[in-house]
């Protein structure tokens, strides 16, 4: 009987972003008879997401005696990588830099996982990050992309494709978080209000990339067209105060709630009439999959990359990139049409089929087998 392969997944943190959640979902679904699984968290130790890891996944942290920053993260990856057969960078940047560096020294194979349209994202990199990224993706032969759009973006940025690149859709485990902390009282009041008022919801880190300024402008335009609804944006981030100020300036503050981070967004999605993705840049938005699972119709900005792939075959409404007026019209039309919302919800549920474990896991088994047979990164 073949011994289980020892896999070390590496993440920069276990925050509430899409990549850590997708990684935890994949680890929870993988066969423990086939793999001995470890997850190295290079960030803070206190994370509610860690509670979702099943017992067969060993959670590792950077030892306290190691330095912080990138140096300590590299040493931690090297330290724990000694006992594993394959090192897997669970996300771009720091995790990939660490896996590349450690795998070279250990003479072990590596695999990278890309969750974003890399070319436009890398345009804002500092020169040292561009250099490190190019060195890593030139050296690691096996790379998984969450969407064909993300793969094409990396091909454009790198100037070609390596032979062992694969597109594997994100795996969705639609059950809610059994360990989720109950909503705070203010959040609970808004969750109850969702049951009595038409609501449009957005989810994500409150930063420029997620485009919630666009969502607020589209909401203001839709309200001006006569629609009656509230807007709830779940998440924390540096633009919290700016978004609150924007809502005040547009005289829609009484219709807008920014309740902060919630451990489990699914009850909020189930209670909302629409989910709107307003991002300027994505890879394959997990929140769209979660909306599908909750039978909540989706409107998405046609950003690079992922929304167009997920909403193919009429699984949602795709509006042109940056077209706030089109987003507002879509909100008004869908809120006014329960029949169309039901049809979109049904198509969304059908679109989930390719994201179920029985479809996703065999693809991961194949790329892991290929990666383990590749030489170490250069």
Q: Which domains does the chain have, with CATH numbers?
A: 5-171+356-372 (3.40.50.2000), 185-355 (3.40.50.2000)
pLDDT (tens digit per residue) in 1-16: 588 999 999 999 988 6
Mean pLDDT of 126-154: 96
Kindly calculate the radius of gyration of the chain based on its CA atoms and give it in whole angstroms.
21
Reply yes or no on whether the pLDDT at 179 is more than 70: no
User: What CA dihedral angle connects 296, 297, 302 and 304, to 10 degrees?
Assistant: 20
Reply yes or no on whether the pLDDT at 176 is more than 90: no
Reply yes or no on whether the pLDDT at 261 is more than 90: no
pLDDT of residue 49: 78
User: Which pair of tokens denotes residue 341?
Assistant: 């919302």
pLDDT (tens digit per residue) in 151-168: 999 999 999 999 899 999
Mean pLDDT of 345-369: 96
Q: CA dist 230 to 202, 219, 254, 271, Å?
A: 11, 9, 8, 12
Mean pLDDT of the chain: 93
Reply yes or no on whether the pLDDT at 263 is more than 80: no
pLDDT (tens digit per residue) in 304-328: 999 999 999 899 999 999 999 999 9
Predicted TM-score (pTM) of the model is 0.92
Mean pLDDT of 216-237: 97
pLDDT of residue 177: 52
Q: What DSSP designation does 304 have? A: B
Q: Is 265 helix (H, G, I), strand (E, B) or coil?
A: coil
* Residue with the larger pLDDT of the pair 107 and 49: 107
Q: How many residues does the chain have?
A: 378
């Amino acid at each position: 009987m073949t011994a289980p392969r020892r896999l070390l997944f590496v993440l920069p943190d276990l925050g509430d972003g899409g990549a850590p959640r997708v990684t935890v979902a994949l680890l929870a679904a993988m066969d423990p008879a086939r793999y001995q699984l470890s997850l190295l968290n290079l960030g803070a130790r206190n994370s509610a997401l860690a509670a979702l890891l099943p017992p067969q996944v060993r959670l590792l942290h950077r030892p306290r005696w190691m330095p912080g920053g990138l140096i300590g993260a590299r040493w931690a990856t090297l330290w724990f990588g000694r006992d594993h057969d394959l090192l897997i960078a669970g996300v771009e940047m720091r995790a990939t830099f660490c896996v590349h560096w450690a795998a070279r020294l250990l003479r072990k194979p590596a695999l990278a996982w890309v969750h974003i349209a890399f070319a436009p994202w890398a345009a804002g990199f500092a020169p040292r990050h561009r250099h490190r990224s190019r060195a890593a993706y030139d050296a690691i032969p096996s790379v998984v992309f969450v969407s064909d759009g993300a793969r094409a973006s990396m091909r454009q940025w790198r100037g070609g494709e390596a032979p062992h690149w694969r597109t594997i859709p994100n795996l969705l485990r639609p059950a809610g978080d059994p360990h989720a902390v109950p909503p705070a009282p203010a959040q609970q009041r808004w969750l109850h209000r969702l049951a009595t008022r038409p609501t449009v919801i957005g989810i994500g880190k409150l930063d420029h990339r997620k485009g919630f300024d666009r969502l607020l402008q589209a909401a203001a335009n839709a309200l001006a067209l006569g629609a009656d609804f509230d807007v709830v944006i779940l998440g924390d981030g540096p633009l919290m105060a700016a978004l609150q100020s924007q809502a005040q300036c547009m005289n829609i503050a009484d219709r807008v709630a920014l309740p902060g981070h919630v451990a489990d967004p699914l009850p909020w999605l189930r209670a909302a009439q629409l989910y709107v993705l307003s991002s300027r840049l994505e890879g394959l938005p997990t929140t769209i999959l979660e909306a599908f699972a909750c039978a909540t119709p989706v409107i998405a900005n046609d950003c690079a990359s992922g929304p167009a792939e997920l909403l193919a075959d009429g699984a949602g409404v795709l509006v042109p990139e940056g077209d706030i007026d089109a987003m507002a019209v879509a909100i008004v039309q869908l809120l006014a049409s329960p029949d169309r919302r039901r049809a979109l919800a049904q198509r969304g549920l059908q679109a989930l089929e390719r994201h179920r474990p029985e479809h996703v896991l065999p693809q991961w088994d194949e790329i892991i087998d290929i990666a383990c047979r590749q030489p170490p990164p250069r």
